[in-house]
Structure 1
Amino acid sequence: MLDKYKDENEFYSLIGIKYKTFMKMVEILKEGEAKQKQIGGRPNKLSIEQRLLMTLEYWKEYSTYRIIAKKYFNFVENSW
């Protein structure tokens, strides 16, 4: 998913934060998710990176989640 961004400038212009900041956020989220997994629960269909990208995209553009979801799920139109 992250390989579609050509360089750090493109990443920053599309997402709104630097790539290093993004990776630090992913690291923190992975630690938190590891603690949460100890409790149990259903596995996520999206990776932490994808979920964080969706959140940052929403905060930057305030698009509807339906529009954002089309980028991350192939079956959105068929399931709604």
Structure 2
Amino acid sequence: MLDKYKDENEFYSLIGIKYKTFMKMVEILKEAEAKQKQIGGRPNKLSIEQRLLMSLEYWKEYSTYRIIAKKYNIRLLALLIY
């Protein structure tokens, strides 16, 4: 997923944070997820990187869930259940 960005400047302009900051966030999230997996639960279909990118893209652009779901091949039906 990250390979679609050509360089750090493009990453920053599209996502809104530096690539190094993004990778530090991924490290922190991986540690937190490892602790959570000790408890159990369903595995995620998307990687931590993909989930973080989704969040950052939403916060930067305020895209609709429909657009985000399309980008990440997520079935929208799950998002529409109340």
Q: TM-score, normalised by structure 1?
A: 0.89
Gap runs ≥5 in structure 2:
73-78
Distance 2:53 2:45 in 1: 14
The total of aligned residue pairs comes to 76
Q: The residue matched to 2:51 in structure 1 has which SS? A: helix
Distance 1:34 1:14 in 2: 29
The answer to whether structure 1 residue 9 and structure 2 residue 9 are counterparts is yes
Identity %: 92
Distance 1:61 1:78, change over 3 A: closer
Distance 1:10 1:43, change over 3 A: same
Give runs of ≥4 in structure 1 deviating > 2 Å.
Answer: 77-80
Distance 2:30 2:66 in 1: 25
Measure how far apart 1:66 and its partner are: 1.4
Distance 1:17 1:56 in 2: 9
Distance 1:79 1:39 in 2: 26
Measure how far apart 1:78 and its partner are: 13
Distance 1:61 1:70, change over 3 A: same
Measure how far apart 1:67 and its partner are: 0.6
Distance 1:16 1:6 in 2: 15
The answer to whether structure 1 residue 61 and structure 2 residue 81 are counterparts is no
Q: TM-score, normalised by structure 2?
A: 0.87
Measure how far apart 1:69 and its partner are: 1.2
